[in-house]
Structure formats: C-alpha cells, structure tokens
Structure 1
Amino acid sequence: MQDERQAAERYLETGTDDSFCELFEALYPRLRRYFALRGLELAAAEELAQNVMLIVYRKAATVRQAELFFGWLYRIARHELFHYRRQNKPAVETVELETMRAELEQRLHTGQAAATPVWDLLERMEQGQRDLLVLRFVEELSYDELALVFEIPVGTAKWRVHSARQKLTALIEEEQRQGRFGRIKR
C-alpha cells in the first residue's frame, strides 16, 4: 500500500507519463481484484480497471488533496462498476454461488482472500457493509477516503464501519459457539 501511495503522490506532483506508468503498474492489479471480488469475469474486471486508470490519467489534476486520492480512485471504480452492471444487466441471474466462488478463487492468483472463513462470513453481510469493511481493512482506505467513495459524511463512514464490524463480530462469535470457527485473539 505504501508503494501505491508513493506512486500516486509522484503522479499527482509531476503528471509525467513515466509516473503514470508507475502508478498504473501499482494500481492495476488492485483495481482488477476489486472488480473480480465483486463477481465480474476476469475480462470485464480488466476492462473496468483500464477504464478507471484512463479516467485517472485524464482527471488526476482535479484531485485537490493527495491524501484523498484513493477515495477518489475507488469512487471512480464504484461508479464504473455501477455503470457496467446497468449496461450488462442479465434478464435472470442464473449463476450459483458455489460455482461463482470456485471461479473467483481460480481467478485470484493467491486464492487466499476468497478462501478464508472471514470472507465466507463477509459474504453473508449486506453488500454495502462488506464493501466498507473490505475498503477500510483490506484496501486500507482512510475514513475520509471512504466518505468520498460512498458520498457520505466522514462521521457516517465511521459509524457504518463500526456497525459493520459489530455485525461481523457477531457472526464470528456465532460461528465460534457452533464450533465452526477457531478462536480469534482480540
């Protein structure tokens, strides 16, 4: 994450093609993963990641505060995902969850993110709560950046992350009571 932040700062400061190439190499895999984890085929995830990076190239000069770059980036990604889903909405959803999970795990080179028990619990949460937790704790976005992504006040972002964490904790504790989940150190 630190390398990505440094690449973003360099691009925002210099705006050179070389700094954009560095930024692209740092962010493209992350953006592709963001879209793949939301159920898109690999080709669609790659296309949307490229679209986001093209927008970054064209509009990075509009970013007034470098520390909010990642919030701005994921806001663009979220809008691209919504646009893609509106344009490619299937008549009937026919993909089974287990089939989609297996394909997702296969697409992710590490396979670790989708295969963890915590990810299974995250899948049981509402999409918005899951997105908040993933962006906050996996993608390491600040509360200011989350507020920008979801177009909400910072205080609301903090409250929603807190509420989502409480829900995830309750799910983990329930799994522990039923013996399906190991002990977690706090």
Structure 2
Amino acid sequence: MDFTYLETLSDGYDKEQILSDLILAYQNEVWDYALSLTRSTHMADDIAQDVFLAVYEKLHTFRGEASIKTWLLRITRNISFNRRKNSFVRRVLLMKELPESGSNSPSAELEALDNLMSSEAWRLVLQLPVKQREVMVLHAHHALSHDEIASLLRLPVGTVKSRLHHARIKLAKSYEGGQEHDGV
C-alpha cells in the first residue's frame, strides 16, 4: 500500500480507515520488531497494540520525513524501551514464562516465535546484545537501509554500520562455535 498521502492530510480524513490500513500492512512487522527487542510474545502483543493506539492518536503528526514503516518502527522502539525501563517489567522478565494452561494448540504468536526460533541464524541473532540485535533485525528482517536505520535509531550512519559489522562477527563466531560442537 502507498501511504504517501499521509504527508498531506486534511481535516476530513478517516482516521479509522487509515489505522485499519496501517494495521493490515504493518502489524506483523511491528510485532516482530517488538518481539526482537523484548523477547517476550506477551510484551510484543501489548506493545503492538500500544503502537497502533499511539498512531491513531498522533496520526496528524506524521510529516513524511521518513517512510511510514520507519515511523512505525521508531514508535515501536520507543514504546518497547519505555516498557523495559519499568521496574515491574524488569522483575517479571527475570522469571521464565510459564506455559499457558488449558490450551491444546499453540497461539499464532507462539507459532510465529517457533518459526523464527527454528532457524539457527535467528536463534543466534536473538542472543546478540540489544544494540547489535536491533540493527541486525532492522537490516536483515525489515530490509531497512543503513540510512533508514540511522534515522530510526537517531544514530550516525557510521555507528549503524559498526554495530552491524560487530553483530555479523559475533554471529559468525557463534555459528562456527556451534558447528564445532555439533560435529563432536
């Protein structure tokens, strides 16, 4: 979908329809990014809802300086980091998630997480430090350019490139180390 019209909204726009279109187009990317930042399906669910609520309330502030996708991912990042700062959330994240009782079939979110985690590469990516994991996910999964990542994270492009380079080195070392253990 093309959302360039959002740059020039007038007073008579249909916020509900725009929000519906944005959710349809970007809900999976917002949820995936929230998951990569929090490593919790429950928090990713809550954050995705909060992102689209914030978008609904602040739709008129979109200026088109970045793509709509980059804008949504920036909101996702801000909400995720605000959640992580909450001391209650930090304490809860220290505890392991308990399996959901009374459910015979996995939820769509758990299936998505299983699919993501089934890939050895993504398992290793999710183990990276958050700064490196974030740039790797934005680059590899969301296909953002270095400039778009720099804009979203409000970092110099050189810092993005450096973090991506270090993430790739760590991934290569982790993968090689895993291969050695598998062959023994």
- 1:33–1:108 CA contact under 8 A, matched in 2: no
CA RMSD of aligned residues (A): 3.1
Instruction: Output the amino acid matched with 2:96.
Output: V
Unpaired stretches in structure 1, ≥5 consecutive residues: 182-186
SS in 2 for 1:20: helix
Give the 3 Å change call, closer, same or farther, for CA 121–172 of structure 1 in structure 2.
same
Give aligned-pair identity as a percent.
27
Contact 1:147 1:157 survives alignment (8 Å): yes
Q: Which residue of 2 aligns with 1:89?
A: 89
User: Structure 1's 159 and 60: CA in aligned 2 closer, same or farther, altered over 3 A?
Assistant: farther
Q: Determine helix, strand or coil for the equivalent of 2:89.
A: coil
TM-score relative to the length of structure 1: 0.72
Match of 1:184 in 2: none
Give 1:80 deviation, angstroms.
0.7
Aligned residue number for residue 9 of structure 1: 4
Residue 64 of structure 1 aligns to a residue whose secondary structure is: coil
TM-score normalised by structure 2 residue count = 0.73
Aligned positions of 1:92-131 closer than 5 A: 93-95=94-96, 107-109=110-112, 111-131=114-134
Structure 2: gaps of 5 or more residues: 100-105
Q: In the alignment, what sits opposite 1:174? A: 177
Give the Cα–Cα distance (whole angstroms) in 1 for the partners of residues 64 and 109 of structure 2.
37
Give 1:77 deviation, angstroms: 1.0
Q: Show structure 1 runs of 4+ deviating over 6 A.
A: 103-106
TM-superposition CA deviations, 1:122-166 (whole Å, max 9, x none): 233212111110111101122222112322112221222122122
Which residue does 1:141 correspond to in 2?
A: 144
Alignment of 1:54 with 2:43, yes or no, is no
Q: What displacement does 1:41 show?
A: 4.1
Question: Would you say the 8 A contact 1:71–1:147 is kept in 2?
Answer: no
Change (3 A) 1:110 1:164: closer
- Judge conservation of contact 2:150–2:160 (CA < 8 Å) in 1: yes
2:162 paired residue number: 159
Question: What does residue range 20-35 of structure 1 map to in structure 2 within 5 Å?
Answer: 20-35=19-34
The 3 A distance-change label for structure 1 pair 126 and 167 is same
